[in-house]
Amino acid sequence: MSTDLETIQHVTESEYKYGFTTDIDTEVIPPGLNEDIVRLISAKKGEPEWLLQWRLKAFRHWQKMEEPAWHNVHYPTIDYQSIIYFAAPKKKANSLDEVDPELLEMYEKLGIPLNEREALAGVAVDAVIDSMSVATTYKDKLAEKGIIFCSFSEAVREHPELVRQYLGSVVPYTDNYFAALNSAVFSDGSFVFIPKGVRCPMELSTYFRINALNTGQFERTLIVAEDGAYVSYLEGCTAPMRDENQLHAAVVELVAMERAEIKYSTVQNWYPGDKEGRGGIYNFVTKRGLCAGRASKISWTQVETGSAITWKYPSCILKGDDSIGEFYSVAVTKNFQQADTGTKMIHIGKNTRSTIVSKGISAGRGQNTYRGQVKIAKGAHNARNYSQCDSMLIGDRCGAHTFPYLEVSNPSAQLEHEASTSKIGEDQIFYCNQRGISTEDAVSMIVNGFCKEVFRELPMEFAVEAQKLLAVSLEGSVG
Partner 1 sequence: MHSTTESFLKNFALLEHSLNGESELPLHQLRRRSLERFSALGFPTTRDEDWRFTNIAPLAATHFRPVLLPEPHSITPAQAAAIGYAGQSAHRLVFVNGHFAPGLSQLGEVGNGVAVGNLAAVIKADAGVVEQFIESLPATRPDPFAALNTAFLRDGAFISVPNGSIIQQPIHLLFIGAAPSEATVAHLRNLISVGANAQATIIEEYVSVGGGNPTFTNPVTQIAAGENATVNHYRIQHEQESGFHVGTFHATLERASTVNSITFTLGSAIVRNNTNAVLGGPGAHCTMDGVYLANGTQLVDNHTTLDHAAPNCTSHELYKGVLNDRGRGVFSGRIIVRQDAQKTDSKQSNRNLLLSDTAIIDSKPQLEIFADDVKCTHGATIGQLSDESLFYLRARGIGLAQARAILTYAFAEEVVEHIAIPELCDYLEALLNTRLEH
Which CB sits closer to partner 1, 89 or 360? Answer: 360
Burial of 136 (0-12, 13-18, 19+ CB in 10 A): exposed
Pairing of strands 251-256, 315-318: unpaired
Residue number with CB closer to partner 1 (172 or 399): 399
For residue 388, report the phi and psi dihedrals to the nearest 5 degrees. Answer: -140, 125
Angle between helices 177-185 and 49-64 (to 10 degrees): 150
Q: In angstroms, what is the minimal distance from the CB of 275 to partner 1? A: 19
- Residue 387 beta carbon to partner 1: minimum distance, rounded to whole angstroms: 9
DSSP per residue over 115-139, as a string?
Answer: HHHHHHTTB--HHHHHHHHHHHHHH
Q: Looking at beta carbons only, is 151 or 362 nearer to partner 1?
A: 362
| Shortest separation between residue 397's beta carbon and partner 1, angstroms | 7
Nearer to partner 1, 74 or 378 (CB): 378
State the amino acid at position 438 in one-letter form: S
- Least distance from partner 1 to the Cβ atom of residue 350, Å: 13
CB closer to partner 1 out of 84 and 478 = 478
As a whole number of Å, the end-to-end CA separation of the chain is: 19
Nearer to partner 1 (CB atom), residue 399 or residue 459: 399
* Contact indicator for 438, 471 with CB cutoff of 8 Å: no
Rounded CA-CA distance 296/170 in Å is 15
- Sites of contact with partner 1 (CB under 8 A): 70, 378, 391, 393-423
Say which residues have a Cβ less than 8 Å from residue 435's Cβ, sequence separation at least 6: none
- CA–CA dist 170, 183 (Å, integer): 12
Min CB(383)–partner 1 separation in Å: 10
| Sequence-distant contacts of 95-102: CB under 8 A, at least 24 apart | 95/123, 96/121, 96/123, 98/10, 98/11, 98/14, 98/123, 99/7, 99/11, 99/123, 99/242, 100/4, 100/7, 100/8, 100/11, 100/242, 101/7, 102/4
Q: Write out the DSSP string of 422-447.
A: EE--HHHHHHHHHTT--HHHHHHHHH
Q: How far is the CB of 209 from partner 1 (least distance, A)?
A: 38
| In the complex, minimum distance from the CB of residue 74 to partner 1, in angstroms, rounded to a whole number | 14
Q: 31 vs 399, which CB is nearer to partner 1? A: 399
Number of Cβ within 10 Å of residue 144's Cβ equals 9
Report, in Å, the least distance between residue 407 CB and partner 1: 5
Shortest separation between residue 348's beta carbon and partner 1, angstroms: 16
Q: Taking Cα atoms as reference points, which of 191, 188, 166, 170 lies closest to residue 179? A: 170
Indicate the pairing of strand 230-236 with strand 219-225.
Answer: unpaired
H helices of 14-125, in order, are 35-44, 49-64, 101-110, 114-120
